[in-house]
Structure 1
Amino acid sequence: MVADILLGAVVAGGSVAAGVGALGLAGYLIRHRGSPGVNWFITSFLATALWCLTYGFGLLVDIYPLRAYLEAVGLVAAAWTGPLFLMFTLEYTGRSATARSWQSGVILAPPAAISGLIVTFPYHSLLWTGLGPAPVFGLSVPGYTVGPLLYLMATFVFGCTGIGALLLVETVVSYGPLYRTEATAVALSTLPPAAGVLPWLFNVGPVPQLNLGPLLFLLHIALDGYAFVGSNMFETNPTTERAAQRSAIDDLGSPTFVLDTADRVVTVNDAAVDVFGLERESVLGEPLTTAADVDLEGGADHQTVSVTTDGRDRQFSVVTSPLTDPADRNVGRTVVFQEITREREREQRLDVLNRVIRHNLRNEMTVVMGHADLIEGRSDDEAVEASAETIKASGNRLLATGEKAREFEQLRGTETGTESVDVTELVQARTTELRAEFPDATVEAVLPSSPTTVETDPRVLSLVISSLLENALAHNETDDPRVVLTVELLPPGGIEITISDNGPGIEAEELAPIQKGRETSLEHTTGIGLWIVSWGVSMLGGEIEFDTDGEGTVVTLRLE
């Protein structure tokens, strides 16, 4: 007898405690209301609390038909627990569109209809038959034969709960450790109540008339409490990551295809539909070569293709990235088409323009220089001879500019490579050339005694150093032009090259466009030398500084 009383107290008290715990968690979650899934979960806990409380207190009430009404109210609450849990998981796992569409009506309409049938139980026998007292452990337990409505309700509730649990499991698998503990705890929390309800539903076990589901909700509350309080389940959630993945494709302005391992189209974004004139549904499952009418090289990650759309040829840079699952298995790839038509057309125009200008400049300046020599040789007029010399000097500067442009254009058209470069040898070669070109100038090189080998592109570095030295001497009009080139080693494997001169210094107007990276009608350089230096340093991945004070210029180049 004492044991029965204790067991009865545990069942009734545990059911009431579960209801109180559900109310407590609902109150705790209010601080997170508005977060994905929270409002649905709060409502689910309120339904759970109503079920557990009415069942727990009902075990102490032996007055009929009041006891029957308490049973009915508890069943109404139970009918909502599964659907509300499913609505929570839909929003929490980033499927809020489904939770807010007509599909939500499919989920919520059945419990509403079932609730209406339950509260009208006196007028039909769909809910139960043979309702009457069936006390056990000193509790007022109602005994009855389960009707079809309860079986239907249980099937729907278990189905919703199972789907919700699977969505959480999918979250664990798809999103890794970030949400693993929270989602696992909530998914497992659905098992204890189900284990308590099933024996009652199918009338099996030592006390089949006793529904232990409300009592076992204590474990449910404990697991959910861990997820909310211990792991901060709603501080971070999969909605953010799922939305990011979706928007990464949908909001991308470039045509994007997601392919499976057989290169069949799984999904496309709006840009792909617009650019390639696709019908989204019809291309799903089709090979990419058929859907977009392009042929891609097998394993190339980057390639360029020409696509004819709207009656014109368009150039695209195609970037392919593999897709892997959490187990690092290949599941497909993404193919992104970045249009480069304008860039290619611009490059083509520049190439033509550069070639024509350099060709015409060289040919026309050869004519000019020839006539300048002729005039100088046939005239005894000093003024005419001086003008001829001025023409020749200007012509030489233009030819030198054209030659520099040609050299840099050749470098620009090739990939920058790296190799071990003896900077000492390279500097000595350049300074020797400069001494021959400017015999009246002093060109000094201060080199370290230890090896000065660096990994870089020798062609670009040579062009940068030559341009800096020539610029320092060409614009130096002093009686004793002087330039000093100093090389210092930078740990762990870099160099610093300093070129200083005693010239007039580089004017601020010349440096401003270089430092800003662009020219305007008001700010522009008078030559191409500094631009070649700036572009070359950028190609080498280095840094350059100019320090000029009107009494000379110090240029510092660092490569690390």
Structure 2
Amino acid sequence: MAGVPPPPIALLVGVALVALVVAKAFVNRRRDRPGATELGVLLAVVGTWCGLYAAQLAATTTATMVFLYQLIYLCIVAVPPLWFLFASSYTGRQSLPLLGWLAAGIISVGCFLGALLWPETTLVWTDVEVVSIGQLRALSLDKGPVFYVFIGYAYTLLLWGAARIGRYAITTRGRARNQTRVIAFALFIVLVPNAAFNTGLAPFEFDPTPFVFILSVLLFVAADFRYGLFRAHPLARDVAREHVIEEMVDGVLVVDRANVITDVNPAAATALGVSPRSVIGEKLDAVLPDLATRIESADSESETYYHASSDVTYDVRVSPFSRPKNGLQGRIVTLHDVSETRQREERLSVLNRILRHDIRNGLNVVGGFADLVADTDADAEMRQHAAARIKHRTDELLDLAEKIRAIEKGLDRQNERQSTELMGVLDIVVERIERQWPEATVTLSGPDEVTVLTTPIAEALFHNLVENAAEHGGESPTIDVVVTTADDWVTVEVTDDGPGIPKKELEAIESGETQLAHASGIGLWLATWLVRQSSGTIEFDATDEGTVVTVRLRRARPDDETVPA
């Protein structure tokens, strides 16, 4: 029938219109979704390609056909980078660097100009021939060297983008996986016949690509209607999960079934003292043997602890995972910092042990001497001695209660740090010790003023150190408290001329509170704990000539809040 275009031309026009309508819908309605704008532009270019190809098939002169095919090349060179941009945006991966896009632009523009300037240049086309296919006339082209350079670059971008889509299809589930499978298939049903035509493997005398676009466009439409291509984008879920894992306080480490580390979040890297780059791809037992041992003994029900340092403890939990369909199998290891909880439990246990031991013994002593005082048959001297022992023991118990109160206060505020004027605190400590032990000689030397970063109960720290020196320093102890500064640190030395700290007591204090069995060392233990809570260090040097306790604290910065003594 006259005036009715042949079915192939009508089909191409229909595909062009559908592609342009879908492109407009993606750009207008889904522009805020990753990849929607890029896919919309890509479909618009595909629709234009189909429309120009339909016009070329309908053309009646060779010159018009060549001109339209030259315009088609503008679409041809635009498709590979647009596809790669879409694949990168949709999967949330990085695009090409600037130099990569510059090289891509040079190749694309060179190919288009080579086609546009034919026959003056034969770098893209060496010869053009009109062939008849039934009622249609099409162009058959002999390709030049620039065309094959372009084809190599174009297939590289197309396959690179397809690899990103394919990897995304493997790692996602449910509707997201179906979306990515449809997208990948939409590419390959175009790529295979196109590659067969350009490499001469298919017996086509004309380019079949525009006709295959029919299926590709329909697949994108079906993906949108069936799976909501951009309505509930899976990337949002993946980005959210990645953000949560990257920002979470707990450490997360992933190992595969071969015990190779495949992922480490920043919290785990910090906890383990490693950089992600140095351990990813390495065997767990080779780079972190202690943790590997802990993991082998851990399960979801038992408590397994990993000690990163003397002060830091992590609860290790292991969760196996597997996906039999794609062969994924491994374990997710979480590291939860339980240092504060464990330290608090240990310290409460120590206090409980000391209180049960010393208070019971103290009250037994008080009770025994109270019976002696109440004994009317006892002489006055014995009763007076018993009363003095009761008074002495009561004072000891009150002093113990004061230390316990300081520890309880420290437990409640163990995470607090503040800037404290040190010399004022030491003045108060020296004054109190001189009142308690009039026979002791205590000297204080140092700068007029210096501020340090400490816990809120810094006075208890130094009072226990000086008190210990006075208590164990003999009949007339001499105690020197010397403060010096160097760079960002302040050093306090407490020196006495007593017999020195007993070796067993010092070992118990330095090895940890779990070894502390009685209250005689609780003052030094409290001081040691408070120094560590202040991010400082403490050292004990006990000799026959006395004891030197050296405390190093960080100097406070100007912007730290200063608390006067």
**TM-score interval for Structure 1 and Structure 2 normalised by the shorter chain:** 0.5 to 0.7
CA contact (8 A) 1:91 1:239 kept: no
Provide the C-alpha distance between the structure 2 equivalents of 1:362 and 1:186, rounded to a whole number of angstroms: 78
Structure 1 stretch 27-36 or stretch 12-21: which is displaced more?
12-21
CA contact (8 A) 1:50 1:77 kept: yes
Contact 1:324 / 1:332 at 8 angstroms: preserved in 2?
A: yes
Q: Which residue of 2 aligns with 1:181?
A: 178
- The more displaced of 254-263 and 47-56 is 254-263
Q: How does 1:248-263 map to 2 (within 5 A)?
A: 248-263=244-259
Shift of residue 199, structure 1, vs aligned partner: 5.5
Q: Given residue 355 of structure 1, which amino acid in structure 2 is its aligned partner?
A: R
TM alignment of 1:292-441, pairs within 5 A: 292=288, 294-295=290-291, 296-297=293-294, 298-301=296-299, 302-308=303-309, 313-325=311-323, 327=325, 331-366=329-364
Cα displacement (A) at 1:59: 1.5
- The CA RMSD over aligned residues, in Å, is 3.6
- 8 Å CA contact 1:85, 1:164 repeated in 2: yes
8 Å CA contact 2:33–2:233 kept in 1: the answer is no
SS of 1:141 mapped into structure 2? strand
Give the equivalent residue in structure 2 for 1:149. Answer: 146
2: CA distance, partners of 1:324 / 1:98:
31
Partner Cα separation in structure 1 for residue 218 and residue 6 of structure 2: 20
The one of 52, 55, 61 aligned to 2:53: 55
Which amino acid is the alignment partner of residue 256 of structure 1?
V
Instruction: Structure 2: give runs of 5+ residues left out of the alignment.
Output: 377-565
Partner of 2:39, secondary structure, is helix
| Residue equivalent to 2:481 | none
Instruction: Give me the whole-angstrom Cα distance separating, in 2, the residues matched to 1:193 and 1:287.
Output: 42
Contact persistence 2:189–2:212 (CA under 8 A): yes
Aligned to 1:129: 126
Which residues of structure 1 form unaligned runs of 5+? 379-560
SS at match of 2:343: helix
Whichever residue aligns with residue 261 of structure 2, its letter is V
What is the Cα deviation at residue 368 of structure 1? 5.6
TM-score of the two chains, using structure 1 as the length reference = 0.59
Q: Contact (CA 8 Å) 1:12, 1:215: kept in 2 or not?
A: no
CA distance in 1, matches of 2:192, 2:277: 43
Q: String of CA shifts for 1:462-493, please: whole Å, max 9, x gaps.
A: xxxxxxxxxxxxxxxxxxxxxxxxxxxxxxxx
Shift of 1:116: 4.0
Partner of 1:229: 225
Whichever residue aligns with residue 341 of structure 2, its letter is: E
Instruction: State the Cα distance separating 1:145 from its structure 2 match.
Output: 1.4
CA distance in 2, matches of 1:110, 1:241: 37
Q: How far has the Cα of 1:36 moved from its partner?
A: 1.0
Query: Hey, what does 1:170 align to over in structure 2?
Result: 167
Matched, 1:138 2:138: no
**1:281 aligned partner, one-letter code:** R
Q: TM-score, normalised by structure 2?
A: 0.58
Counterpart in the other structure of 2:547:
none
Aligned twin of 1:408: none
2:111 equivalent in structure 1: 114
Q: Distance in 2 between matches of 1:228 and 1:151?
A: 35
Deviation at 1:33, TM superposition (A): 0.5
Whole-angstrom CA distance in 2 between matches of 1:164 and 1:373: 93
Deviations 1:147-186 (A, max 9, x none): 2333333343344333433433333332222223322222
Question: Is the contact made by 1:322 and 1:330 (CA closer than 8 Å) also made in structure 2?
Answer: no
Does the CA-based 8 Å contact 1:44-1:84 persist in structure 2? yes
Structure 1 segment 461-480 matched on structure 2, within 5 A: none
**C-alpha distance in 2, partners of 1:151/1:62?**
29
Alignment of 1:483-522 (within 5 A): none
Give the CA deviation at 1:125: 0.6
Count residues in correspondence.
374
CA 1:152–1:64 in structure 2 vs 1: closer, same or farther (change >3 Å)?
same
